[in-house]
């Protein structure tokens, strides 16, 4: 009996699931890809929304505030369904048709609430900087751009990074919602395995592997976020 057989006895649930592990990891890789792309798109849009919330003109500030509240308070699963059914299967770019797969639609769907949360993170980060710092910079003849880049942003980013990391953890876990619309992520792969093997005893171990994958990825990020927030709170560099 080799080491593998001693750890995973033949016929056991883990021994049956072991050959499926590469497929499970591939599915989880798609979850991570969706989460990363969703964060990139959502953060870009959310940064613009957050800056718009700080505008002096009500015609810019009020719509940005409405969109932020709407995106933050809408169920992610409902947004997922709307995006899946409203976006086309193919898009035409410069006369050529390109497929628009379901996993890319999931990216768009998750980027929408991410933009709302990012908008509020940006607004909160900028609001946390005392107005006296703007006044002091103006007294030193600093322009708006220079003040923002050299004085305001370095401090605001400290306020933004920890909640952004926590948001990413939420997005990673929310990628499992793509399962209900047929994206071949880790939950869909797990269900396919259970359908193929048709053994009730595999249900808990199979979903347990999925649970461990999410926890092993998310928990270190969450822990680092809390430590980073605590360190910056007390001024430790």
Q: Which of 20, 98, 16, 159 is nearest to 28 (CA)?
A: 20
- Enter the pTM of the model: 0.87
**Token pair listed for 11:** 């016929």
Q: Which of 156, 79, 183, 167 is nearest to 118 (CA)?
A: 167
CB neighbourhood size of 197 (10 A):
16
SS3 assignment, position 97: strand
Q: Which of 1, 77, 72, 26 is nearest to 213 (CA)?
A: 26
| Per-residue pLDDT, 199 | 80
| Per-residue pLDDT, 213 | 96
Give the span between the Cα atoms of 7 and 103, in whole angstroms: 36
For residue 163, give Cα distances in angstroms to 77, 157, 170, 187, 205: 22, 10, 11, 26, 33
Give the span between the Cα atoms of 42 and 37, in whole angstroms: 8
| Per-residue pLDDT, 2 | 56
| Per-residue pLDDT, 210 | 94
CB neighbourhood size of 7 (10 A):
11
Q: Which residues pair with 5 in a beta bridge?
A: none
| Per-residue pLDDT, 4 | 53
Q: How far is CA 131 from the centre of its chain?
A: 32
| Per-residue pLDDT, 202 | 84
Q: What is the pLDDT along the chain (237 residues), one digit of tens a residue?
A: 455 555 555 667 777 888 889 999 999 999 999 999 999 999 999 999 998 998 889 999 999 999 999 999 999 999 999 998 888 877 777 777 777 889 999 999 999 999 999 999 999 888 887 777 777 777 777 776 777 777 777 788 888 889 999 999 999 999 999 998 889 999 999 999 988 887 878 889 899 999 999 999 999 999 998 888 887 766 544
What are the chain's domains? 3-234 (1.10.3720.10)
């Amino acid at each position: 009996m080799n080491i593998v057989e001693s750890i995973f006895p033949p016929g056991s649930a883990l021994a049956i699931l072991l050959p499926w592990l590469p497929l499970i990891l591939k599915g989880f890789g798609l979850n991570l890809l969706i989460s990363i792309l969703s964060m990139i798109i959502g953060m870009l849009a959310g940064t613009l929304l957050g800056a718009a919330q700080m505008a002096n003109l009500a015609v810019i500030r009020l719509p940005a505030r409405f969109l932020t509240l709407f995106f933050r308070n809408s169920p992610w699963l409902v947004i997922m369904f709307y995006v899946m059914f409203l976006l086309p299967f193919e898009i035409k770019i410069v006369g050529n048709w390109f497929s628009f797969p379901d996993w890319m639609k999931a990216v768009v769907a998750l980027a929408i609430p991410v933009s709302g949360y990012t908008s509020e993170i940006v607004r909160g980060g900028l609001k946390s900087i005392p107005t006296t710092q703007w006044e002091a910079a103006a007294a030193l003849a600093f322009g708006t751009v220079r003040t923002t880049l050299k004085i305001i942003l370095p401090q605001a980013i400290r306020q933004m990074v920890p909640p952004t990391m926590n948001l990413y953890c939420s997005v990673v876990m929310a990628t499992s919602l793509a399962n209900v619309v047929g994206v071949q992520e880790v939950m869909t792969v797990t269900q396919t395995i259970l359908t193929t093997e048709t053994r009730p005893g595999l249900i808990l171990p199979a979903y347990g592997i999925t649970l461990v994958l999410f926890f092993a990825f998310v928990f270190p990020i969450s822990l680092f976020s809390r430590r980073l927030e605590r360190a910056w709170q007390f001024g430790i560099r």
